[in-house]
A = this chain, B = another copy of it.
């Protein structure tokens, strides 16, 4: 079944101690849409400016991504630039130029409104609400977020939580949102705010799912080299929802397996700048790595 992915479509300029990479394809929706596209048909919602390179549209299309909901507005594409320190864990934002994102109002084409799986990739909660408002009874809604929105749009984020099935956030955000230091307790508390499923991303330490009556621990695929972790979280949630949309049967069992696939797609994302590695991966590469990960935890 199809997946609607709404979020940011951006140009990312990424500096690491070793290289500079100007104006890569980036943004939460780009990463999530490509990740989801390995498993399910994807419909993209976003906005780009006049400066958006045509080759990136070609890249979306190569992944079979439906672009009917990708608006083109006069002005410049949202541009983020950041710098990683040598250990790749500390990121510093150098510049954020909103460009056409500033006045963006998502308008979903009629063909999108009945998409059964909805991913509200990281973006301002107001925009996440606006997307949901246009959907007709989706089967499963996942929302991702980031620390920025906890700081500047907490109320709208909290209003979103009762509207979604699953919340995805990282460990520090889960702690921040609940004022609870223990991540498992924090995840459990988040259910009270709305979502039946809470997925906490812990980067290289994997992720955990809290569901009614249970907990699941998913490992991260161990990497010996991280080139650029930008978009890894978006790839995780995109791969996750894409895989979920392609599965039948018990939602809990499917979510667990989907987290493993999300984790594997995220690991590929980290092995190249921006989307350069992910877009060269095949479904077969993913399946191979899923089997390797199974092997790495088997005893």
- A residues with a Cβ closer than 8 A to B are 86-87, 181-182, 184-185, 188, 202, 205-206, 208, 215-219, 222-226, 253, 256-257, 259-260, 296-299
* Contact in complex: A299, B182 (CB < 8 Å): no
Told that A259-B299, A260-B299 touch, could you supply 13 new A-B pairs with CB distance under 8 A?
A86-B181, A184-B224, A188-B224, A215-B222, A216-B296, A217-B219, A217-B296, A217-B297, A219-B219, A253-B299, A256-B298, A256-B299, A257-B299
* Contact in complex: B216, A182 (CB < 8 Å): no
- Sampled A-B contacts (11; CB under 8 Å): A182-B225, A184-B224, A205-B205, A205-B206, A208-B222, A215-B222, A217-B219, A219-B219, A256-B298, A256-B299, A259-B299
Task: Give the chain B neighbours of A256 by CB distance below 8 A.
Answer: 298-299
Task: Give the chain B neighbours of A224 by CB distance below 8 A.
Answer: 182, 184-185, 188
Separation of A260 and B219 alpha carbons in the complex (Å): 15
Task: Give the chain B neighbours of A216 by CB distance below 8 A.
Answer: 296-297, 299
Nearest chain-B residue to A299 (Cβ)?
B256
Separation of A182 and B264 alpha carbons in the complex (Å): 18
Nearest chain-B residue to A293 (Cβ)?
B217
Instruction: Given A202-B205, A296-B217, decide whether A226 and B260 contact each other with a Cβ distance below 8 A.
Output: no
Instruction: Given A299-B253, A299-B256, decide whether A217 and B222 contact each other with a Cβ distance below 8 A.
Output: yes
Task: Give the chain B neighbours of A253 by CB distance below 8 A.
Answer: 299
Instruction: Given A260-B299, A299-B253, decide whether A184 and B215 contact each other with a Cβ distance below 8 A.
Output: no
